[in-house]
Amino acid sequence: MFSEGTGPTVPRHRRNPRRVYDERGREITPATIADAQEAGAHGIIARCACGHEERLPFTGLRLEWFVPDIGLRLRCTACGGKRIETSLDW
């Protein structure tokens, strides 16, 4: 069961690929670093499009940052790419 989204319905062509939407097309607010720590996560897993993967601790990350958006601030140390996806390290 998914959470209820908030705000107006977002048409498919305008949706952010780093967000999740409910069945009505409303954005579901993503987890923040504070939410992740409270749930017991150890850090962030960052995966580059080239296949390189790193585990990052929460140290130095702001508690209000959204987990999916952290990848926008990273650059791959293997290839220099910026297409980084992030998930929680349980």
Q: Read off the pLDDT band of 1 (50, 70, 90).
A: very low
Domains in the chain: ranges and CATH: 31-89 (2.20.28)
**Mean pLDDT of all residues belonging to the chain:** 92
* pLDDT tens, position by position, 3-35: 788 889 999 999 988 888 999 999 999 999 999
27 φ, ψ (degrees, to nearest 5) = -70, 135
Q: Whole-model pTM?
A: 0.78
